[in-house]
Chain A
Amino acid sequence: MSLLAVRDVSKRFGGVKALAGVTFTIEPGQVLGIIGPNGAGKTTLLNCISGLTRADAGDIRWEEQSISGMPPYRIARLGIGRTFQIVRPFPSMTVRENTAMGALFGRPDGRLQPGAALKEADEVLNLVGLGEKRHHTVLRLTVPDRKRLEVARALAMRPRLLLLDEVMAGLNSVEVEQALTMVRRVQEQGVTIVLIEHVMKVIVGVCSQALVLNFGRTLVEGPPAEVLNDPRVIEAYLGERYARRQKPPPDRSPNGEGNEKT
Protein backbone atom coordinates (compact mmCIF):
# COMPACT_ATOMS: atom_id res chain seq x y z
CA MET A 1 0.00 0.00 0.00
CA SER A 2 1.33 3.40 -0.92
CA LEU A 3 1.81 5.82 1.92
CA LEU A 4 0.67 8.74 -0.18
CA ALA A 5 -0.97 8.76 -3.59
CA VAL A 6 -1.29 11.98 -5.58
CA ARG A 7 -3.70 11.61 -8.48
CA ASP A 8 -4.09 14.09 -11.30
CA VAL A 9 -3.77 17.12 -9.03
CA SER A 10 -4.22 20.53 -10.66
CA LYS A 11 -4.04 24.04 -9.29
CA ARG A 12 -4.53 27.34 -11.04
CA PHE A 13 -3.60 30.81 -9.72
CA GLY A 14 -5.41 33.37 -11.85
CA GLY A 15 -4.16 32.76 -15.37
CA VAL A 16 -1.22 30.63 -14.29
CA LYS A 17 -1.57 26.88 -14.20
CA ALA A 18 0.79 25.96 -11.35
CA LEU A 19 -0.08 22.26 -11.43
CA ALA A 20 -1.57 20.66 -14.53
CA GLY A 21 -2.40 17.11 -13.50
CA VAL A 22 0.39 15.60 -11.41
CA THR A 23 0.28 11.93 -10.46
CA PHE A 24 2.73 9.97 -8.34
CA THR A 25 2.91 7.73 -5.27
CA ILE A 26 5.26 7.55 -2.32
CA GLU A 27 6.07 4.18 -0.83
CA PRO A 28 6.99 3.77 2.84
CA GLY A 29 10.71 4.30 3.49
CA GLN A 30 11.31 6.06 0.19
CA VAL A 31 13.21 9.32 -0.22
CA LEU A 32 11.68 11.12 -3.18
CA GLY A 33 13.43 14.16 -4.62
CA ILE A 34 11.35 16.71 -6.52
CA ILE A 35 13.31 18.93 -8.90
CA GLY A 36 12.44 21.28 -11.72
CA PRO A 37 12.77 24.87 -12.89
CA ASN A 38 11.72 27.78 -10.69
CA GLY A 39 7.98 28.15 -11.08
CA ALA A 40 7.44 24.51 -12.12
CA GLY A 41 4.99 23.95 -9.25
CA LYS A 42 7.16 22.14 -6.71
CA THR A 43 6.21 24.17 -3.65
CA THR A 44 2.56 24.33 -4.78
CA LEU A 45 2.59 20.53 -4.83
CA LEU A 46 3.88 20.38 -1.24
CA ASN A 47 1.30 23.00 -0.27
CA CYS A 48 -1.47 20.86 -1.75
CA ILE A 49 -0.26 17.78 0.13
CA SER A 50 0.01 19.61 3.45
CA GLY A 51 -3.34 21.32 2.98
CA LEU A 52 -2.07 24.88 2.78
CA THR A 53 -3.41 25.15 -0.73
CA ARG A 54 -6.52 23.38 -1.92
CA ALA A 55 -6.14 21.66 -5.28
CA ASP A 56 -8.71 22.58 -7.96
CA ALA A 57 -8.93 19.02 -9.21
CA GLY A 58 -7.55 15.56 -8.47
CA ASP A 59 -7.21 13.64 -5.26
CA ILE A 60 -4.58 13.11 -2.58
CA ARG A 61 -4.79 9.96 -0.50
CA TRP A 62 -2.96 9.11 2.71
CA GLU A 63 -3.00 5.35 3.23
CA GLU A 64 -5.91 5.08 0.80
CA GLN A 65 -7.99 7.70 2.58
CA SER A 66 -8.64 11.03 0.85
CA ILE A 67 -7.19 14.06 2.59
CA SER A 68 -8.27 16.55 -0.09
CA GLY A 69 -9.84 19.58 1.51
CA MET A 70 -8.67 18.72 5.04
CA PRO A 71 -7.30 21.64 7.04
CA PRO A 72 -3.49 21.71 7.48
CA TYR A 73 -3.53 20.97 11.20
CA ARG A 74 -5.51 17.77 10.71
CA ILE A 75 -3.21 16.66 7.91
CA ALA A 76 -0.25 17.38 10.19
CA ARG A 77 -1.75 15.24 12.93
CA LEU A 78 -2.25 12.36 10.51
CA GLY A 79 1.54 12.22 10.33
CA ILE A 80 2.56 14.55 7.51
CA GLY A 81 5.15 17.07 8.72
CA ARG A 82 6.73 19.78 6.61
CA THR A 83 9.27 22.57 6.58
CA PHE A 84 9.04 25.93 4.87
CA GLN A 85 11.46 27.60 2.49
CA ILE A 86 11.33 30.83 4.46
CA VAL A 87 11.88 29.75 8.04
CA ARG A 88 9.75 31.50 10.64
CA PRO A 89 10.84 30.46 14.12
CA PHE A 90 9.43 32.26 17.16
CA PRO A 91 12.22 34.80 17.69
CA SER A 92 11.75 35.30 21.42
CA MET A 93 11.94 31.59 22.21
CA THR A 94 14.93 29.33 22.53
CA VAL A 95 15.78 26.58 20.06
CA ARG A 96 14.37 24.04 22.48
CA GLU A 97 11.10 25.91 23.04
CA ASN A 98 10.62 26.39 19.31
CA THR A 99 11.04 22.68 18.78
CA ALA A 100 8.69 21.79 21.61
CA MET A 101 5.88 23.60 19.73
CA GLY A 102 5.72 20.75 17.24
CA ALA A 103 5.42 18.22 20.04
CA LEU A 104 2.85 20.31 21.91
CA PHE A 105 0.43 20.94 19.09
CA GLY A 106 1.18 18.65 16.18
CA ARG A 107 0.79 15.19 17.64
CA PRO A 108 -1.85 12.71 16.54
CA ASP A 109 -2.31 11.46 20.11
CA GLY A 110 -3.32 14.81 21.56
CA ARG A 111 -1.20 17.33 23.39
CA LEU A 112 1.82 16.38 25.41
CA GLN A 113 2.47 17.94 28.77
CA PRO A 114 5.03 20.76 28.49
CA GLY A 115 7.68 18.71 30.31
CA ALA A 116 7.22 15.77 27.95
CA ALA A 117 7.25 18.11 24.96
CA LEU A 118 10.59 19.58 26.03
CA LYS A 119 12.00 16.10 26.48
CA GLU A 120 10.79 15.21 23.01
CA ALA A 121 12.38 18.42 21.71
CA ASP A 122 15.74 17.41 23.19
CA GLU A 123 15.57 14.06 21.43
CA VAL A 124 14.93 15.49 17.98
CA LEU A 125 17.46 18.28 18.51
CA ASN A 126 20.10 15.64 19.14
CA LEU A 127 18.99 13.88 15.99
CA VAL A 128 19.43 16.99 13.82
CA GLY A 129 22.67 18.00 15.53
CA LEU A 130 21.41 20.99 17.48
CA GLY A 131 21.51 19.39 20.92
CA GLU A 132 24.30 21.59 22.21
CA LYS A 133 22.58 24.75 21.05
CA ARG A 134 19.18 23.99 22.51
CA HIS A 135 19.28 26.89 24.95
CA HIS A 136 20.38 29.44 22.34
CA THR A 137 17.98 32.09 21.15
CA VAL A 138 17.11 31.45 17.52
CA LEU A 139 18.50 34.83 16.46
CA ARG A 140 22.00 33.54 17.22
CA LEU A 141 21.69 30.62 14.83
CA THR A 142 23.52 30.51 11.50
CA VAL A 143 21.63 29.72 8.30
CA PRO A 144 22.38 25.96 8.36
CA ASP A 145 21.32 25.79 12.01
CA ARG A 146 18.07 27.62 11.28
CA LYS A 147 17.33 25.05 8.62
CA ARG A 148 18.08 22.27 11.11
CA LEU A 149 15.69 23.89 13.57
CA GLU A 150 13.01 23.95 10.88
CA VAL A 151 13.49 20.21 10.42
CA ALA A 152 13.49 19.66 14.20
CA ARG A 153 10.18 21.49 14.61
CA ALA A 154 8.59 19.24 12.00
CA LEU A 155 10.16 16.09 13.50
CA ALA A 156 8.86 16.92 16.94
CA MET A 157 5.42 16.10 15.56
CA ARG A 158 6.73 12.57 14.97
CA PRO A 159 5.59 12.53 11.34
CA ARG A 160 5.67 9.39 9.24
CA LEU A 161 6.07 11.49 6.10
CA LEU A 162 8.34 14.53 6.14
CA LEU A 163 8.16 17.14 3.39
CA LEU A 164 11.34 19.23 3.13
CA ASP A 165 11.17 22.39 1.02
CA GLU A 166 14.70 23.44 0.06
CA VAL A 167 16.32 22.91 3.43
CA MET A 168 19.75 22.92 1.79
CA ALA A 169 19.50 26.14 -0.21
CA GLY A 170 22.28 28.52 0.73
CA LEU A 171 24.54 25.81 2.16
CA ASN A 172 27.99 25.21 0.74
CA SER A 173 29.22 21.77 -0.32
CA VAL A 174 30.53 20.78 3.08
CA GLU A 175 27.43 22.03 4.88
CA VAL A 176 25.33 20.06 2.40
CA GLU A 177 27.24 16.90 3.37
CA GLN A 178 26.37 17.51 7.02
CA ALA A 179 22.73 18.10 6.12
CA LEU A 180 22.71 14.87 4.10
CA THR A 181 23.90 12.97 7.14
CA MET A 182 20.97 14.46 9.04
CA VAL A 183 18.47 13.40 6.38
CA ARG A 184 19.88 9.86 6.37
CA ARG A 185 19.56 9.69 10.15
CA VAL A 186 15.93 10.79 9.94
CA GLN A 187 15.27 8.19 7.27
CA GLU A 188 16.85 5.49 9.44
CA GLN A 189 14.24 6.31 12.06
CA GLY A 190 11.67 5.04 9.58
CA VAL A 191 10.46 8.40 8.29
CA THR A 192 9.51 8.60 4.62
CA ILE A 193 10.83 11.77 2.99
CA VAL A 194 9.89 14.02 0.09
CA LEU A 195 12.35 16.81 -0.58
CA ILE A 196 12.59 19.71 -2.99
CA GLU A 197 16.16 20.74 -3.80
CA HIS A 198 18.17 22.47 -6.48
CA VAL A 199 21.36 20.90 -5.18
CA MET A 200 21.97 17.81 -7.29
CA LYS A 201 24.43 16.44 -4.77
CA VAL A 202 21.41 15.97 -2.51
CA ILE A 203 19.29 14.26 -5.14
CA VAL A 204 22.08 11.84 -6.04
CA GLY A 205 23.28 11.44 -2.45
CA VAL A 206 20.10 10.55 -0.64
CA CYS A 207 17.10 10.06 -2.94
CA SER A 208 15.85 6.67 -4.08
CA GLN A 209 13.60 8.26 -6.68
CA ALA A 210 13.51 11.62 -8.46
CA LEU A 211 10.52 13.42 -9.95
CA VAL A 212 11.07 16.30 -12.36
CA LEU A 213 8.27 18.85 -12.67
CA ASN A 214 8.09 21.27 -15.59
CA PHE A 215 5.19 23.66 -16.23
CA GLY A 216 3.12 21.90 -13.59
CA ARG A 217 3.50 18.45 -15.14
CA THR A 218 5.73 15.44 -14.57
CA LEU A 219 8.56 15.62 -17.10
CA VAL A 220 10.48 12.53 -15.99
CA GLU A 221 10.41 10.18 -13.01
CA GLY A 222 12.94 7.51 -12.10
CA PRO A 223 16.18 6.71 -10.27
CA PRO A 224 18.24 9.92 -9.81
CA ALA A 225 21.21 8.79 -11.90
CA GLU A 226 18.96 8.14 -14.89
CA VAL A 227 16.85 11.24 -14.44
CA LEU A 228 19.86 13.58 -14.27
CA ASN A 229 21.23 12.16 -17.52
CA ASP A 230 17.93 12.48 -19.34
CA PRO A 231 18.26 14.94 -22.26
CA ARG A 232 14.83 16.43 -21.49
CA VAL A 233 15.92 17.21 -17.94
CA ILE A 234 19.19 18.73 -19.11
CA GLU A 235 17.29 20.85 -21.62
CA ALA A 236 14.59 22.09 -19.23
CA TYR A 237 16.42 22.27 -15.95
CA LEU A 238 20.10 21.44 -15.62
CA GLY A 239 21.47 23.22 -18.66
CA GLU A 240 24.29 22.18 -20.96
CA ARG A 241 27.03 23.71 -18.85
CA TYR A 242 25.92 21.75 -15.82
CA ALA A 243 25.80 18.54 -17.82
CA ARG A 244 29.31 19.15 -19.14
CA ARG A 245 30.63 19.83 -15.65
CA GLN A 246 29.39 16.47 -14.43
CA LYS A 247 31.34 13.30 -14.95
CA PRO A 248 28.94 10.76 -16.42
CA PRO A 249 27.79 8.45 -15.00
CA PRO A 250 27.06 10.22 -11.70
CA ASP A 251 25.94 7.09 -9.84
CA ARG A 252 29.33 6.15 -8.35
CA SER A 253 29.72 8.69 -5.61
CA PRO A 254 27.75 11.65 -4.31
CA ASN A 255 30.73 13.93 -5.01
CA GLY A 256 29.76 14.52 -8.59
CA GLU A 257 31.22 18.00 -8.96
CA GLY A 258 34.66 17.41 -10.34
CA ASN A 259 37.20 20.15 -10.80
CA GLU A 260 38.03 19.17 -14.34
CA LYS A 261 36.85 21.58 -16.91
CA THR A 262 36.11 20.28 -20.34
Chain B
Amino acid sequence: MSSLLEVEELTAGFGGTPVLFDVGLELRPGELVALIGANGAGKSTLLGALSGLVSVFHGAIRFGGRLVTGLRPELIVASGMVHVPQGRRLFGTMTVARNLLLGAYRRHDREVRDDMQRILQYFPALGDKLEREAGTLSGGEQQMVAIGRGLMARPKLLMIDEPSLGLAPKVVDRVMEIVKTINQDGTAVLLVEQDVVLALEIADRGYVLENGRIAMSGQAADLRQDPAVRKAYLGI
Protein backbone atom coordinates (compact mmCIF):
# COMPACT_ATOMS: atom_id res chain seq x y z
CA MET B 1 0.00 0.00 0.00
CA SER B 2 1.26 3.47 -0.76
CA SER B 3 2.36 5.77 2.02
CA LEU B 4 0.33 8.66 3.31
CA LEU B 5 3.39 10.42 4.65
CA GLU B 6 6.91 9.83 3.48
CA VAL B 7 9.87 11.68 4.95
CA GLU B 8 13.29 11.24 3.42
CA GLU B 9 16.68 12.46 4.63
CA LEU B 10 15.12 15.35 6.47
CA THR B 11 17.49 17.88 8.00
CA ALA B 12 15.76 20.79 9.70
CA GLY B 13 16.25 23.32 12.48
CA PHE B 14 16.36 26.90 13.58
CA GLY B 15 18.41 29.84 12.35
CA GLY B 16 20.68 27.69 10.21
CA THR B 17 21.39 25.28 13.06
CA PRO B 18 20.06 21.80 12.36
CA VAL B 19 18.20 19.98 15.11
CA LEU B 20 17.09 17.03 12.98
CA PHE B 21 19.55 15.03 10.90
CA ASP B 22 18.73 12.73 8.03
CA VAL B 23 15.35 11.71 9.43
CA GLY B 24 13.40 9.09 7.52
CA LEU B 25 9.85 8.21 8.45
CA GLU B 26 6.82 6.65 6.85
CA LEU B 27 3.18 6.52 7.80
CA ARG B 28 0.46 4.59 5.98
CA PRO B 29 -3.18 5.65 5.72
CA GLY B 30 -5.07 4.87 8.91
CA GLU B 31 -1.97 4.11 10.96
CA LEU B 32 -1.31 5.29 14.50
CA VAL B 33 2.40 5.90 14.85
CA ALA B 34 4.11 7.00 18.07
CA LEU B 35 7.17 9.21 18.07
CA ILE B 36 9.13 8.84 21.28
CA GLY B 37 12.39 10.21 22.62
CA ALA B 38 13.89 12.29 25.40
CA ASN B 39 13.16 15.96 25.83
CA GLY B 40 15.31 17.87 23.37
CA ALA B 41 15.56 14.92 20.97
CA GLY B 42 13.68 16.89 18.32
CA LYS B 43 10.17 15.43 18.41
CA SER B 44 8.31 18.73 18.42
CA THR B 45 10.78 20.13 15.91
CA LEU B 46 9.95 17.24 13.60
CA LEU B 47 6.23 17.97 13.87
CA GLY B 48 7.05 21.63 13.23
CA ALA B 49 9.05 20.75 10.11
CA LEU B 50 6.18 18.62 8.81
CA SER B 51 3.76 21.51 9.44
CA GLY B 52 5.94 24.05 7.68
CA LEU B 53 6.70 25.92 10.91
CA VAL B 54 10.38 24.93 11.08
CA SER B 55 12.87 25.45 8.26
CA VAL B 56 13.82 22.40 6.25
CA PHE B 57 17.45 22.50 5.07
CA HIS B 58 17.54 19.25 3.18
CA GLY B 59 15.35 16.30 2.33
CA ALA B 60 11.82 15.67 1.16
CA ILE B 61 8.38 15.44 2.76
CA ARG B 62 5.70 13.77 0.63
CA PHE B 63 2.11 13.73 1.70
CA GLY B 64 -0.41 11.73 -0.29
CA GLY B 65 2.24 11.36 -2.98
CA ARG B 66 2.71 15.12 -3.31
CA LEU B 67 5.87 16.97 -2.39
CA VAL B 68 5.00 19.42 0.41
CA THR B 69 8.53 20.39 1.51
CA GLY B 70 8.77 24.14 2.01
CA LEU B 71 5.05 24.77 1.52
CA ARG B 72 3.49 27.42 3.70
CA PRO B 73 1.76 26.04 6.84
CA GLU B 74 -1.75 26.94 5.63
CA LEU B 75 -1.24 24.99 2.42
CA ILE B 76 0.01 22.01 4.36
CA VAL B 77 -3.14 22.17 6.53
CA ALA B 78 -5.23 22.36 3.37
CA SER B 79 -3.53 19.22 2.06
CA GLY B 80 -4.77 17.33 5.14
CA MET B 81 -1.84 17.37 7.55
CA VAL B 82 -2.95 19.02 10.80
CA HIS B 83 -0.95 19.76 13.94
CA VAL B 84 -2.35 19.81 17.49
CA PRO B 85 0.42 21.70 19.27
CA GLN B 86 1.92 20.99 22.65
CA GLY B 87 0.27 22.92 25.48
CA ARG B 88 -3.06 23.12 23.57
CA ARG B 89 -2.53 26.75 22.44
CA LEU B 90 -6.20 27.64 22.55
CA PHE B 91 -7.57 31.15 22.33
CA GLY B 92 -8.40 31.35 26.03
CA THR B 93 -10.83 34.26 25.94
CA MET B 94 -12.79 32.90 22.99
CA THR B 95 -15.59 30.39 23.40
CA VAL B 96 -15.12 26.68 22.89
CA ALA B 97 -17.34 26.83 19.79
CA ARG B 98 -15.24 29.59 18.25
CA ASN B 99 -12.03 27.73 18.97
CA LEU B 100 -13.44 24.69 17.22
CA LEU B 101 -14.64 26.75 14.26
CA LEU B 102 -11.17 28.24 13.89
CA GLY B 103 -9.98 24.77 12.96
CA ALA B 104 -12.17 25.08 9.88
CA TYR B 105 -10.84 28.55 9.07
CA ARG B 106 -9.71 27.49 5.63
CA ARG B 107 -12.85 25.56 4.78
CA HIS B 108 -15.67 27.17 2.85
CA ASP B 109 -18.05 24.25 2.50
CA ARG B 110 -21.49 24.04 4.05
CA GLU B 111 -20.69 21.08 6.26
CA VAL B 112 -18.65 22.89 8.87
CA ARG B 113 -21.47 23.12 11.43
CA ASP B 114 -22.45 19.50 10.87
CA ASP B 115 -18.84 18.48 11.32
CA MET B 116 -18.74 20.27 14.63
CA GLN B 117 -21.73 18.27 15.87
CA ARG B 118 -20.14 15.07 14.62
CA ILE B 119 -16.78 15.86 16.25
CA LEU B 120 -18.45 16.74 19.55
CA GLN B 121 -19.59 13.13 19.77
CA TYR B 122 -15.98 12.26 20.58
CA PHE B 123 -16.05 14.74 23.43
CA PRO B 124 -19.34 14.48 25.34
CA ALA B 125 -17.76 16.53 28.14
CA LEU B 126 -17.72 19.58 25.84
CA GLY B 127 -21.37 19.34 24.80
CA ASP B 128 -22.72 21.81 27.34
CA LYS B 129 -19.62 24.01 27.38
CA LEU B 130 -19.66 25.39 23.83
CA GLU B 131 -20.32 28.94 24.98
CA ARG B 132 -17.80 28.87 27.82
CA GLU B 133 -14.49 30.68 27.43
CA ALA B 134 -11.91 28.04 26.54
CA GLY B 135 -9.50 29.33 29.18
CA THR B 136 -11.94 28.44 31.96
CA LEU B 137 -12.06 24.74 31.09
CA SER B 138 -10.04 22.09 32.92
CA GLY B 139 -6.78 20.93 31.35
CA GLY B 140 -8.34 17.75 30.04
CA GLU B 141 -11.25 19.61 28.45
CA GLN B 142 -8.85 22.09 26.87
CA GLN B 143 -6.90 19.22 25.35
CA MET B 144 -10.14 17.89 23.92
CA VAL B 145 -10.90 21.28 22.36
CA ALA B 146 -7.42 21.35 20.84
CA ILE B 147 -7.88 17.90 19.29
CA GLY B 148 -11.40 18.85 18.17
CA ARG B 149 -10.08 22.02 16.55
CA GLY B 150 -7.59 19.88 14.64
CA LEU B 151 -10.36 17.56 13.47
CA MET B 152 -12.40 20.51 12.20
CA ALA B 153 -9.83 20.87 9.40
CA ARG B 154 -10.80 17.37 8.19
CA PRO B 155 -7.29 15.95 8.47
CA LYS B 156 -6.06 12.81 6.81
CA LEU B 157 -3.20 12.92 9.30
CA LEU B 158 -3.50 14.37 12.78
CA MET B 159 -0.20 15.14 14.50
CA ILE B 160 -0.71 15.40 18.27
CA ASP B 161 2.07 16.75 20.48
CA GLU B 162 2.00 15.52 24.09
CA PRO B 163 -1.70 15.36 24.80
CA SER B 164 -1.12 14.03 28.34
CA LEU B 165 0.85 17.09 29.47
CA GLY B 166 -0.31 18.22 32.92
CA LEU B 167 -3.36 15.98 33.01
CA ALA B 168 -4.60 13.75 35.83
CA PRO B 169 -4.04 10.00 35.22
CA LYS B 170 -7.73 9.29 34.73
CA VAL B 171 -8.02 12.11 32.19
CA VAL B 172 -4.88 10.95 30.38
CA ASP B 173 -6.51 7.56 29.87
CA ARG B 174 -9.67 9.22 28.57
CA VAL B 175 -7.74 11.40 26.11
CA MET B 176 -5.76 8.40 24.86
CA GLU B 177 -8.98 6.45 24.35
CA ILE B 178 -10.35 9.31 22.28
CA VAL B 179 -7.18 9.46 20.18
CA LYS B 180 -7.47 5.73 19.54
CA THR B 181 -11.13 6.05 18.57
CA ILE B 182 -10.42 8.89 16.17
CA ASN B 183 -7.75 6.73 14.59
CA GLN B 184 -10.05 3.71 14.35
CA ASP B 185 -12.56 5.93 12.54
CA GLY B 186 -9.98 6.35 9.78
CA THR B 187 -7.74 9.32 10.59
CA ALA B 188 -4.03 8.55 10.64
CA VAL B 189 -2.28 9.80 13.79
CA LEU B 190 1.32 10.74 14.50
CA LEU B 191 1.54 10.88 18.29
CA VAL B 192 4.32 12.51 20.29
CA GLU B 193 4.01 11.44 23.90
CA GLN B 194 6.22 11.37 27.00
CA ASP B 195 4.16 8.63 28.53
CA VAL B 196 5.87 5.98 26.45
CA VAL B 197 3.95 3.12 28.06
CA LEU B 198 0.63 4.61 27.02
CA ALA B 199 1.81 5.72 23.59
CA LEU B 200 3.12 2.28 22.69
CA GLU B 201 -0.03 0.71 24.09
CA ILE B 202 -2.29 2.42 21.54
CA ALA B 203 0.13 2.78 18.61
CA ASP B 204 0.62 0.38 15.69
CA ARG B 205 4.24 1.35 15.16
CA GLY B 206 6.79 3.64 16.70
CA TYR B 207 9.92 5.65 15.96
CA VAL B 208 12.55 6.53 18.54
CA LEU B 209 14.26 9.88 18.06
CA GLU B 210 17.63 10.47 19.73
CA ASN B 211 19.65 13.66 19.37
CA GLY B 212 17.79 14.53 16.18
CA ARG B 213 18.20 11.17 14.49
CA ILE B 214 15.93 8.15 14.18
CA ALA B 215 17.63 5.61 16.44
CA MET B 216 15.09 2.82 16.15
CA SER B 217 11.73 1.98 14.67
CA GLY B 218 9.38 -0.96 14.67
CA GLN B 219 6.07 -2.43 15.72
CA ALA B 220 4.84 -0.87 18.95
CA ALA B 221 4.65 -4.30 20.62
CA ASP B 222 8.32 -4.98 19.75
CA LEU B 223 9.47 -1.57 20.97
CA ARG B 224 7.65 -2.13 24.25
CA GLN B 225 9.77 -5.23 24.82
CA ASP B 226 13.03 -3.78 23.53
CA PRO B 227 15.61 -3.64 26.34
CA ALA B 228 17.15 -0.36 25.10
CA VAL B 229 13.75 1.35 24.93
CA ARG B 230 12.79 0.02 28.33
CA LYS B 231 15.98 1.27 29.89
CA ALA B 232 16.06 4.67 28.18
CA TYR B 233 12.40 5.66 28.29
CA LEU B 234 10.57 3.49 30.75
CA GLY B 235 13.25 3.49 33.43
CA ILE B 236 12.90 -0.26 33.88
Contacts and interface: CB of A to CB of B under 8 A. Distances in A.
A245 B235 CA distance: 16
Contact of B234 (A36, A173, A200, A236): A173
Interface in B18-75: 36, 38-40
B171 A175 contact: no
Contact of B170 (A143, A175, A239, A259): A239
A169 B166 contact: yes
Contacts of B233: 172-174
A37 B138 contact: yes
B1 interface: no
A172 B199 CA distance: 12
B171 A37 contact: yes
Contacts of B165: 169-170
B197 A257 contact: yes
Contacts of B168: 35-38, 198, 237-238
Nearest to B177: A241
A142 B196 contact: no
- The B contact surface, by secondary structure, is helix
Contacts of B38: 172, 174-175
B102 interface: no
Interface residues of B, number: 31
A42 to B, nearest CB: 10
Interface in B133-164: 138-140, 162
B113 interface: no
Given A239-B173, A242-B169, A38 B138 contact: yes
B170 A37 contact: yes
Contacts of B140: 38
22 contacts: A35-B168, A37-B170, A38-B140, A38-B167, A38-B168, A142-B39, A143-B40, A170-B166, A171-B194, A172-B194, A172-B233, A173-B233, A173-B235, A174-B38, A174-B232, A174-B234, A237-B170, A238-B169, A239-B173, A242-B173, A257-B234, A259-B197
Q: Which 10 A-B pairs have the closest CB atoms?
A: A239-B170, A142-B40, A173-B235, A38-B139, A39-B138, A38-B138, A143-B39, A242-B169, A172-B194, A241-B173
Interface of B: 36, 38-40, 138-140, 162, 165-174, 194-197, 201, 224-225, 230, 232-236
Given A172-B195, A173-B233, A176-B235, 6 more contacts: A38-B140, A38-B171, A169-B165, A171-B194, A198-B169, A259-B230
